[in-house]
Chains A and B, each alone.
Chain A
Amino acid sequence: MQKFSFNRRLVIIIVCLIVSFALMTVSVAIRNKKSTPPLIQQFGNDIVGLTDRVVALPANGLNGSVSAISELLNTYQENQQLKKQVSELAQTKVRDQTLAKENKQLKQQIKLNDSLTDYTAISAAVITRTPSSWQNQVVINKGSSAGVVKNMPVMSGSGLVGRVAEVNKTNSKVELITDNNDAANRFAVSITTKAGKTVNGVLSGYKSATGQIVMDNLTTKSKISKGDKVVTSGLGGVTPKGLFVGTVAQSVGSDYGLSTKLYITPATDLSDLNIVTVAVTKQ
């Protein structure tokens, strides 16, 4: 009798393991290939998301008020610095407007409707964050009903923070650049060097020890120096051109000495996200 019950337990454990791996494999495959999860999962996520908003609202509100108080302390200094910047900004803005207008006229002349730089922005609030150490993932409160599509790039503040990994009706999951899984942070980017050359490449990972984005396998002869700006190149997919990723922190030879490896300082603080922007391309 003892032996029988032991065998039964073993069978249960093995069946559970097999079912678990099967479910995991299926859901990873769906996540990588399909544009939306199965309808049941979407429906469930929408309901859970709605309930979560009720809980998350006071928590995020509390967070906002606490940070408001701490920010009040260094407001004066910040104000002084910002005043200087504002006067410069007004000039840049006017110039930007003129250039945008000119750009539009020129595009009309050559009958070019949408180029790689065109995108519209959907702003969304972060509801919650996945309590897990390997999935740096946040849930935002806009979904397919607001026009969010899988793989769209997500920005916060001045720079790129991640991509949309899963879309439900009213919420979606955003995988941050800091996530180191196989598909998280492969953005096509380009760097304009000080000499004016453009270097294209793909982001390849994140180094959590220093908080830097890694870009490997660059086979270029042009010299990339510290402080060069990295922006998305708009090649190959739904990412528009010209989203700011960060600045080059270090350029070293790769592990085998054949190519160049870059470390990039992200443009925004990736650990503190409250409001994000989803960039929607018109293609």
Chain B
Amino acid sequence: MYRLSKMRFGFPIGLFLLLFIDGSISQVFSRQMFNAPSVMVSHLVVLWLVCGVLFEENMAMPLVKWAAVIGAVFDLYYTGIFGVYIFVFPLVVYLTRQLVSYISPNFLSGLLIYFIDITIVEALSFVASRAVHMTSMSGSSFLVNTLGPTLAFNLAMFVILYFPIRWVYNWLK
């Protein structure tokens, strides 16, 4: 039961913590991660949300709602352009739920699902940024310089953090 578990408070706390850690990683390792032209973007918030779906089992957590909330905070605090991540994060949660209903979640299928999720997050935010003239990056240089390194970084983070996060979720249940 979601309502009676530690998850009720633990999940949002973890979500916000990882949101801030995303920014802090970007700041502390800015020399390595924003080493132009290739750019790595940390998406630990997405990792937390996707892991929420993977380890949810029959708990029925309000993940879409929290995804929208954290997307709104992300938009307001980090980018200042409202209306991008507030829709992208819930979409990712919805999509992951759909995928999980077809593939039983384990480490490897989780990696595959996370690959798709990160691609969608980056691609949609790229399309949105192009639409409002926040960037003038071309599609091909987006694929090579942003999507490639970002996927590499985030999949590495998935591999490193999958078991610790599973432990945290089991402890919160």
Q: Which residues of A contact B (CB under 8 A)?
A: 16, 19-28, 31, 37, 41, 44-45, 48-49, 51-52, 55-56, 59-60, 62-63, 126-139, 165-166, 173, 178, 180-182, 208-209, 211, 269, 271-273
Contact = CB atoms under 8 A, between A and B. Distances in A.
A134 B137 contact: yes
Nearest to B84: A24
B154 to A, nearest CB: 11
Contact of A60 (B28, B36, B135): B28
Main secondary structure of the interface of B (DSSP, over half): helix
A80 B43 CA distance: 44
A166 B23 CA distance: 17
Given A25-B132, A271-B30, A52 B23 contact: yes
B83 interface: yes
B27 A56 contact: yes
Contacts of A27: 80-83
B133 interface: yes
A253 B137 CA distance: 23
Contact of A16 (B79, B87, B126, B132): B87
A208 to B, nearest CB: 4
Interface residues of B, number: 48
Given A129-B27, A208-B37, A55 B87 contact: no
B26 interface: yes
A48 to B, nearest CB: 4
B161 interface: no
Contacts, number: 150
Contacts of A127: 23, 27
A45 B79 CA distance: 11
Nearest to B80: A166
Nearest to B21: A55
Q: Which of B16, B23, B73, B86 has the most CB of A within 10 A?
A: B23
Interface in B94-144: 122, 125-126, 128-129, 131-137
B20 A51 contact: yes
A-B pairs, 4 with minimum CB distance: A23-B83, A128-B23, A134-B135, A208-B36
Contacts of B129: 134-135
Nearest to B28: A63
Interface string B1-34: 0000000000000001100111111111011001
Contacts of B67: none
Nearest to B39: A133
A51 B34 contact: no
B82 A181 contact: no
Contact of A22 (B83, B84, B122): B83
A130 B73 CA distance: 12
Given A24-B131, A56-B20, A135-B79, A48 B27 contact: no
Contacts of A129: 23, 26-27, 30, 34
A211 B27 contact: no
A55 B135 contact: no
A272 B30 contact: yes
Nearest to B40: A133
Nearest to B137: A134
B78 to A, nearest CB: 5
Contacts of B78: 128, 130-132, 137, 139
